Chains A and B, each alone.
Chain A
Amino acid sequence: MSRKRDRKPASNAAVSRRDFLKGAGVAVSGGLIAGEHAAAAPPDAKTPILGPGAVPVTLRINGKPQKLNIEPRVTLLDALRNYLDITGAKKVCDRATCGACTVILDGKPVYACNVLAIEAQGKDIQTIEGLATGGKLHPVSAAFVEHDAQQCGFCTPGFVMAVKAFLDRHPTPSMEDVEKGLGGNLCRCGTYAGIRHAALDAAKALKGGKAHA
């Protein structure tokens, strides 16, 4: 049914909040809620327990390592926005529904509100800020401009990142593929008509040798 929104390609790289809450087996995050989970699943003796105080964290964002001292519970989204002033990813639903905070983690799109910053260590974090090269718009961003696939623009950075990641995996999508593959992002102004065309056109532009990294 139309409400069955396909999630974006499975984000195995990131720990979803749901998986996270299952507790056991999630190595790094085990200690975060140790107090709450101790009874259900005692943390592995080998698992380092972090927090609850601030811990040093290094995030590789758009190729550049950034050092932070944050509580382990800080999400990747809050780390970007509140601690690094990297604000392209937007906070909207803050619970992995709307996609406005989409970033690309080791090549896969994730909801940054649903990934802990400590969990993103050692991974390549690409944000909308890292998309343009040499002052030139990325073909996906350019296609959004050309098809007016944006109004207020608050969902736009997340959507651009979702389209980018989608096209990396599906370089020759059909309209139906686009509608399924981008079901994990929501817009309130109603820019989907432009986004559908932007995604298809960006696919062509990227194949035409104008591809960026």
Chain B
Amino acid sequence: MPKCKYDWPEAGQRKLIGKRFNRVDGPAKSSGQAKYSYDVNRPGMLYGKIVGSPYAHAKIKSIDTAEAEKLPGVKVHIIQNVGQEIFWAGDEILIVAAPTEEVARDAARRVKIEFDVLPHLVHEEDLSKVGDRGKPTAEQKSGDPAAAFNAPDTVISEGFYGSQVITHCCLEAHGQVTEWSDQNLQVWASTQNVSGIPGEFAQALNVPATNVRVLTPNMGGGFGSKFGADRWGTECAKFSREVGKPIKLMLERDGELMVAGARPSHFAKVRVAAKKDGTITAWESESWSTGGPQGSGMPPIPYVLTGIPNQVKRHTSVATNIGPARAWRAPNHPQAAVLTICALDDLAAKLNMGPMEFFDKNAGLTGDRGAVYRQELKKAAELSEWKKLWHPRGDKTPGHVKRGLGVSIHTWGGRGHNSKCNVTINPDGSVEVALGSQDLGTGTRTIIAIAAAETFGLQIPDIKVNIGDSAFPPSGASGGSTTVGGVSTATRRGTTDALDQLFAAVAPSLGATPEQLEAVDGKIQVKGDSSKSLTWKQACAKLGLKPIKVQGANPGPCNLGSSGVGGAQVADVSVDTETGIVKINKMVAVQDCGLILDMKTAESQCYGALIMGITYSLFEEKVMDHATGRMLNPNMEFYKLAGIGDIGELVVHMMTGPGYDERGVIGLGEPPVISPGAAISNAVANAIGARVPTIPITPDKVLAAVAKGGIA
């Protein structure tokens, strides 16, 4: 069968793909030259500050901005007016703007807003106390769970598990600089969606979408929280138009943590059953969760092992006043992993089976990728020295510091999103790929350059990649691990077509047909005959004055990418049973993601995911105050992120080669961040011989678990 016109090169033919490259924007970032939206200063620009609600649930009674407006140069823009109901603390009511940030802050403090305070709910861990805020969703049932739980020789494990609400805590706060020129709006936005948000601005500002341009040269973290223009974005643009000046409005750190996105909690009472040989037979769960005023649906449980034959699941969505949920890296998967993999780990312990053996035995329940999980579990066991270090529940060695190992597995889709790109080959030999994508820190520019350089037989610095501008061809939002699959495949198709045109232009001068040509090592040559060749520059000069301009697209002909990855992770922890402190000794991540373009930045995604995973497993939590309804830790002193000394040894292994590469490009951002919660929780249980039911696994919870039945 002939190869499809668009394809990735075979393993032996790859010059760049899969090797280790530094990110192309690394020097700009590490020298402070990279500009972010937060860094944009425009002539005459005002600084905006949001005045938000101090109450979690209230109605606005009055707004008095007179004192604020007495300050020099202060302007006010109302977002929500008298009578409107507020559903979370920090929700933006108005914006003040002033020529300096200092005066803007003063003005914000002088605004007086009165409220009628309404009852709020900010805690949901105890379902019995949520009252009518809890809305049960329909029961889901498959097989005959009652019969399975009652079958003879069945071992049943029952427990309570859960995962806290966390925030995104992007280091670059949400926000933008807006500037009008005539009827045209320019927005420097910290966004994951350069091509998508101009339409939102256009609609809100009632101007044609062609009048809106969004620029995001670099952005300081999104993790799922920066897909939309946001009300503070569109209102900032309105305000800008009203005052005829550019306005910079970035959320303050407290606002960033209070209102700019929360990952829903998920709690569940879980019953699981297995035959004595370890074959899982039944699942029953009673789950509940909140994602703020909208509540939250059931997470995907049982997670990964979806093929458990007999299941019954009930879920309650709890509407709270904690602030709105936003997609958080691998939405609902880390929580589902905690509920599922921890429950199954407890079942394995009850069966007196090692979890590696147990998950290997049940890998078939993952669907058609059981063999992959078995390979990944084996590799993770090897890299974590599982055979040497693992022991049955409870570290029996003397001393108060107990060591344990835990494992988890995960899955994600990661198919490439819709993307177009402009490919230009200029007569002087310069090459540009331009598209309305964005780099969230994953290395988007780098993998586009690799895909283009591979096609053209050039090197990465030969390719100019332009992204972060909505004037370029539209490319999907960067979320759900869809970017690499979208932009690289569009680039491969576009550069392949552009190269065909170049071949057609130079073929006569090489005395060959276009089909006989190839682009290798900076030359265009007759296949297999390097004596008949032109340098890339010479070849491009044959274009005369006319550059080649081609548009590439994804989706398109031929499969250059696919979907569906797996991974296995092992956590190795030490737990101090006197202080309750958990220390990470080592984390092992084994991950597949199809064809890897840049091994270095791919590994970085996994390292970063492990570190984010350690953070949500041990440290971070959106702590809400029952009395006031406010977040108690909207700052970085008490909203705790792991530091450089908290992460232990990190080992990353990417599955590559036959069976993986031919799947084409698949995204990687989400999957490795899913397993740390379950793996670390299981490791702690292995160390102390008792389950800490919910993450984050803080010292108080560890001590409570030890007191309740662990090894003291």
Interface residues of A (CB under 8 A from B): 1-3, 5-6, 71, 73-74, 78, 81-82, 85, 87-95, 97-98, 100, 127-129, 131-132, 137-138, 140-142, 144-146, 148-157, 160, 178-180, 182-183, 185-196
Query: A87-B36, A89-B32, A190-B612 known; 12 other A-B pairs, CB under 8 Å?
Result: A2-B642, A90-B220, A97-B636, A150-B441, A151-B221, A152-B218, A152-B220, A153-B34, A157-B29, A186-B636, A190-B607, A193-B650
Cα–Cα, bound, A136→B610 (Å): 33
B169 at the interface (CB under 8 A from A): yes
State which of A127, A156, A180, A195 has its C-beta within 8 Å of the C-beta of B29: A156
State which of B219, B252, B612 has its C-beta within 8 Å of the C-beta of A94: B252
B203 at the interface (CB under 8 A from A): no
Q: Which residue of B lies closest to A141 (CB)?
A: B30
State which of A71, A88, A127, A152 has its C-beta within 8 Å of the C-beta of B221: A152
State which of A90, A188, A194 has its C-beta within 8 Å of the C-beta of B612: A188
Cα–Cα, bound, A137→B342 (Å): 47
Residues of B within 8 A of A132 (CB): 31
Interface residue ranges of B575-598 to A (CB < 8 Å): 579, 581, 583-584
Chain A to chain B contacts (Cβ below 8 Å), 16 pairs: A2-B583, A3-B640, A3-B643, A71-B102, A78-B101, A90-B39, A91-B38, A93-B636, A128-B31, A129-B31, A132-B31, A151-B440, A151-B608, A188-B170, A190-B610, A193-B647
State which of A82, A137, A194 has its C-beta within 8 Å of the C-beta of B604: A194
CB-based contact B220/A196 at 8 Å: no
Residues of B within 8 A of A145 (CB): 22-23, 26-27, 30
Residues of B within 8 A of A129 (CB): 31-33
Residues of A within 8 A of B690 (CB): none
Residues of B within 8 A of A2 (CB): 581, 583-584, 618, 642-643, 645-646
Residues of B within 8 A of A140 (CB): 30
Residues of A within 8 A of B147 (CB): none
State which of B26, B171, B218 has its C-beta within 8 Å of the C-beta of A148: B26
Residues of B within 8 A of A180 (CB): 645
CB-based contact A152/B171 at 8 Å: yes
Residues of B within 8 A of A92 (CB): 171-173, 253, 636
B153 at the interface (CB under 8 A from A): no
Chain B's nearest CB lies how many Å from the CB of A189? 5
CB-based contact B644/A153 at 8 Å: no
Q: Which residue of A lies closest to B47 (CB)?
A: A82
CB-based contact B636/A153 at 8 Å: no
Interface residue ranges of B11-28 to A (CB < 8 Å): 22-23, 25-27
Q: Which residue of A lies closest to B649 (CB)?
A: A193
Number of interface residues of B (CB under 8 A): 64
Residues of B within 8 A of A141 (CB): 27, 30-31
Residues of A within 8 A of B223 (CB): 188
Chain B's nearest CB lies how many Å from the CB of A87? 4
B35 at the interface (CB under 8 A from A): yes
Residues of A within 8 A of B23 (CB): 145, 148, 150
Chain A's nearest CB lies how many Å from the CB of B607? 4
CB-based contact A148/B635 at 8 Å: no
Cα–Cα, bound, A178→B31 (Å): 20
Given A5-B643, A186-B643, A90 and B30 contact (CB-CB distance below 8 Å): no
Given A2-B646, A190-B610, A155 and B171 contact (CB-CB distance below 8 Å): yes
Cα–Cα, bound, A146→B601 (Å): 11
State which of B22, B171, B615, B635 has its C-beta within 8 Å of the C-beta of A154: B171
Chain B's nearest CB lies how many Å from the CB of A198? 9
Listed from nearest, the 4 A-B pairs whose CB atoms lie closest are A88-B32, A190-B611, A154-B220, A152-B441
Cα–Cα, bound, A178→B645 (Å): 8
Cα–Cα, bound, A2→B220 (Å): 26
Chain A's nearest CB lies how many Å from the CB of B117? 28
State which of B22, B27, B607 has its C-beta within 8 Å of the C-beta of A193: B607
CB-based contact A93/B644 at 8 Å: no
B619 at the interface (CB under 8 A from A): yes
CB-based contact B604/A148 at 8 Å: yes
B609 at the interface (CB under 8 A from A): yes
Cα–Cα, bound, A8→B177 (Å): 33
**Max count, chain B CB within 10 A of own CB: residue among A71, A131, A179, A193:** A193
Cα–Cα, bound, A93→B29 (Å): 19
